[in-house]
């Protein structure tokens, strides 16, 4: 691996366009879903793909062979990094399109040769609950950058603020989708009240963002003890970091149990832009970072 530090996931920021791309093959159609696909569940790995074209939607519903292809590129060439065979099992219909939910059946990786891949897995990643096939599915899911955002919730004296990367935004139809793990202590409260706030934040706050990660499964300290100041959102009065660039207040209108995660489909009821946008935080798998490094393109680590 040269002098590259081996990790599980690489934390990056992106300036300009995302060099990765994703294409869905459904029947005879090849659909560019780079900006319209997300991961909402990790066990089993479940993708959500937003489709507005009726012919493309029909192809997905009727195809017995759905495949998702991930590519990365340098300034000269495009390289295939991973493929996933998918199975359609559910959907959410909206007047402007359809969110298809697709489970990963199998995957194939091109990030490194089979011998190097096996050595890496057995030395650095192998755990009792992590088979090589499941490991491959996680690498596939994170062969495209997943943006990190901050989630906020408050009910009377209870609040929680934590980061998420299993979520997606549908700006054209004013909708938001979340994939929240069942072990998250705030999930039941969000579903019961039907309220949540999502904030866009700069990658320069990485250290604080990861400190908030422990709040997924435990309650945070009081607001006064947080390592940053908060401000209230306009309608819900939920606390958000004072360095938030933009936030959206969302009402949850539908939930679907996906396995390890609960999908929540919500409608944006209010949005505020507080600061100019800056480079954001993303997650990719280490093998994706290594693959790009080998092809002459390196994401900016943060």
Predicted local distance difference test score (pLDDT) of residue 2: 62
Q: How many helices (H) and strands (E) does the chain have?
A: 6, 20
Predicted local distance difference test score (pLDDT) of residue 182: 96
Predicted local distance difference test score (pLDDT) of residue 41: 98
Q: In the predicted model, what is the mean pLDDT of residues 97-101?
A: 97
**Which uninterrupted H or E stretch holds 262?**
strand 261-273
Least confident segment among 23-27, 136-140, 173-177, 222-226? 222-226
Q: Is the pLDDT of residue 153 over 80?
A: yes
Nearest to 201 by CA among 250, 158, 161, 234: 161
Looking at every residue in the chain, the average pLDDT score rounds to 92
What CA–CA distance (Å, rounded) separates 193 from 256?
16
Which runs of consecutive H residues, i.e. helices, occur in 105-186? 114-120, 132-141
Q: Is the pLDDT of residue 99 over 80?
A: yes
pTM summary value? 0.94
Confidence of residue 4 (pLDDT cuts 50, 70, 90): confident
Q: What are the chain's domains? A: 13-144 (2.30.110.10), 149-279 (2.30.110.10)
Quote helix, strand, coil % in the chain, to nearest 5.
20, 45, 30
Burial class of residue 206 in the structure, from the number of CB atoms within 10 Å of its CB (0-12 exposed, 13-18 middle, 19+ buried): middle
Predicted local distance difference test score (pLDDT) of residue 200: 97
């Amino acid at each position: 691996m040269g002098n590259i530090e081996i990790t599980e996931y690489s934390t990056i920021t992106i300036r300009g366009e995302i060099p990765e791309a994703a294409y869905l093959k459904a029947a005879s159609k090849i659909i560019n879903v780079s900006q319209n696909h997300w991961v909402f569940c990790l066990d089993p790995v479940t993708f959500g793909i937003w489709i507005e074209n009726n012919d493309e939607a029909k192809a997905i519903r009727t195809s017995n062979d759905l495949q998702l292809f991930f590519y990365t590129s340098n300034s000269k060439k495009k390289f295939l990094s991973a493929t996933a065979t998918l199975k359609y099992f559910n959907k959410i219909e909206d007047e402007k399109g359809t969110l298809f939910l697709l489970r990963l059946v199998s995957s194939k990786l091109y990030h490194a040769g089979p011998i190097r891949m096996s050595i890496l897995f057995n030395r650095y990643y192998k755990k009792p609950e992590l088979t090589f096939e499941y490991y491959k599915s996680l690498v596939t899911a994170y062969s495209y950058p997943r943006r990190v955002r901050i989630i906020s919730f408050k009910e009377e004296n209870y609040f929680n603020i934590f980061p998420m990367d299993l979520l997606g935004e549908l700006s054209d139809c004013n909708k938001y989708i979340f994939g929240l793990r069942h072990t998250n202590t705030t999930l039941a409260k969000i579903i019961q009240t039907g309220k949540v706030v999502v904030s866009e934040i700069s990658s320069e706050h990485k250290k604080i963002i990861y400190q908030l990660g422990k709040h997924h499964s435990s309650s945070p300290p009081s607001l006064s003890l947080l390592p940053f100041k908060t401000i209230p959102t306009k309608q819900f009065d939920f606390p958000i970091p004072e360095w938030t660039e933009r936030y959206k207040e969302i009402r949850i209108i539908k939930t679907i149990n996906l396995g390890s995660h609960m999908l929540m489909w919500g409608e944006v009821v209010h949005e505020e832009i507080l600061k100019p946008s800056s480079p954001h935080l993303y997650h990719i798998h280490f093998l994706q970072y290594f693959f790009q490094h080998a092809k002459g393109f390196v994401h900016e680590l943060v």
